[in-house]
Amino acid sequence: MAATHAEWTKLWSVRSTWWCLGSAAVLMVGQAVATAFSESTEIPASRIAVDGVFYLVQFVVLALAALFVAGEYGTGGIRSTLQWVPVRRRVLAAKCAVLAPTLFVVGVVLAALAIAVSVPLLNERVPGTPVGEAVRTALAAGAYCALLGVLTVGVSVALRSVAGALTVTFLLLLVAPLLLGGMGLVAVLDYLPGIAGVNVMIGEGELSPLSGNPVPYNEFAGLGVLAAWVAAALVAGDAVLRRRDA
């Protein structure tokens, strides 16, 4: 608990955290308003929120987590962190314990905000978003942001640099789907972390805007796919953190 309390204090005592969250909110609301306002928009408010998470918010989540964790290797702060809490797995757990709930709330609030500002602006041709669907989308967005943050913790500790962590997560989220899609491996796409996240947010059977196929599994299976990626990143991070000198 003490280690988590310390990490919580650290997270909220640097400006980059506030910048990240502020810009995520501005980007999300801005794109929701712009999309909803457009006459050509045909997607419901819940889908506007999903687009906002996938194309904008998730990158802010990556930046926030990478700066918080990998950033310590740049400043040398990691040596202080490990001096304060020498059990390295405890440090890793504390970072996750701080980021996951924070990013869950961020995802829920931003998705809800995007839906709330979109609904009154959308033209009458677009199907409405029932409250249940809005709630489901927001919770899924929160879960996706939380898991993505924890995945970035693992990658950051494994690579020990902000640039490295951002490169790898970008490749995984954006470039890998393009490459594999281009190679015709469409069936694999649904098991990449970014696509799985979108699948969780839009729900089973819906047509995925990214793969073009109906989502082949329900939300919980989708979260399972994400959790597997998170686990792999944490195992890699844990192995590096325990072996390397600080």
CA distances from 5 to 9, 12, 145, 177 (A): 6, 11, 21, 37
Give the tokens for residue 47: 């889908």
Q: Is 15 helix (H, G, I), strand (E, B) or coil?
A: helix
Task: Find the shortest distance in angstroms from Cβ 105 to another protein.
Answer: 21
Report the distance separating Cα 217 and Cα 149, nearest Å: 23
Task: Find the shortest distance in angstroms from Cβ 221 to another protein.
Answer: 38
Site string for another protein, 12-51 (x = CB under 8 A): -xxxx-----------------------------------
Task: Report the residue number, 14 or 175, with the smaller CB distance to another protein.
Answer: 14
**Cβ-contact 111, 135 below 8 angstroms:** no
Instruction: Rule CB under 8 A: say whether 240 interacts with another protein.
Output: no
Looking at 6, 25, 188, 221, which residue binds another protein (CB under 8 A)?
Answer: 6
**Cβ-contact 103, 145 below 8 angstroms:** yes
Looking at 22, 26, 80, 105, which residue binds another protein (CB under 8 A)?
Answer: 80
Instruction: Rule CB under 8 A: say whether 96 interacts with another protein.
Output: no
Residues 57-76 that bind another protein (CB under 8 A): 71-72, 75-76
According to DSSP, the residues that pair with 207 across neighbouring strands are 214
Task: Find the shortest distance in angstroms from Cβ 20 to another protein.
Answer: 13
Task: Report the residue number, 30 or 101, with the smaller CB distance to another protein.
Answer: 101
According to DSSP, the residues that pair with 214 across neighbouring strands are 207
Instruction: Rule CB under 8 A: say whether 89 interacts with another protein.
Output: no
Number of residues that bind another protein (CB under 8 A): 27
Task: Report the residue number, 98 or 115, with the smaller CB distance to another protein.
Answer: 98
Q: Of 164, 150, 161, whose CA–CA distance to 229 is shortest?
A: 150
* Contacts for 34-41: CB closer than 8 Å, 24+ residues apart: 35/118, 36/117, 36/118, 36/119, 36/121, 36/122, 37/121, 39/123, 41/122, 41/123, 41/126
Contact positions vs another protein (CB under 8 A)? 2-3, 5-7, 9-10, 13-16, 71-72, 75-77, 79-80, 82-87, 243, 245-246
